[in-house]
A and B are shown apart, each in its own frame.
Chain A
Amino acid sequence: NAGVTQTPKFRILKIGQSMTLQCAQDMNHNYMYWYRQDPGMGLKLIYYSVGAGITDKGEVPNGYNVSRSTTEDFPLRLELAAPSQTSVYFCASSYSRDSYNEQFFGPGTRLTVL
């Protein structure tokens, strides 16, 4: 199993550009999550999905969009990049709705918006 994979590893965007951060998992997990990590701020939840076709907002959804057309993939879209979106983005997945299942994290995407 590759686990949770994310592409790209690094990206520099200009203000106003758009991009999609890719996330895929091969563990047949129903739940998937997108977080951003800023220094000293821990992880903030952007969006999550409880299954294909179902997504919901987290704590900091503004400026982002997601879709979940398959169990495996959960891309994160930035439509109009802003400097405030400079961050490290992590995708994660977990097996089921049971609260005791831990999350598996991808290696992250480091995004800089200039």
Chain B
Amino acid sequence: AQSVAQPEDQVNVAEGNPLTVKCTYSVSGNPYLFWYVQYPNRGLQFLLKYITGDNLVKGSYGFEAEFNKSQTSFHLKKPSALVSDSALYFCAVRGDTGNQFYFGTGTSLTVIP
């Protein structure tokens, strides 16, 4: 079965500090991994994805994510958090067969000024 786990419902970080939002996955075959961000009363916006190749993926707004195959993880990171990064973050996975994306339950990130 394919699934995604985001173990933290809420992450708080001070502005200017590094942030990490955690994601682990389970999938048959090769994983394709995605991060999305959702601002209040808005749809999800694509941040970045891992397909193959370099384990460190860079995306929008200074975010990056590290793919770790042995730990089946795809944690989202940013070196210096901004107050405007406060939002709900979703990790998603799709296997190399099948038509569906599987989403985590989301992590609410609050950046404290």
Contact = CB atoms under 8 A, between A and B. Distances in A.
Interface of A: 4, 31, 33, 35, 40-43, 45, 48, 50, 56, 58, 90, 92, 97, 99-100, 102-108
13 contacts: A43-B103, A48-B100, A50-B99, A92-B44, A97-B99, A99-B32, A99-B95, A99-B97, A100-B49, A103-B34, A105-B44, A107-B42, A108-B41
A100 B104 CA distance: 17
Nearest to B101: A103
B100 A58 contact: yes
Interface band, chain B? 20 to 34
B43 interface: yes
Nearest to A43: B103
Interface of B: 9, 32, 34, 36, 41-46, 49, 51, 90, 94-101, 103-106
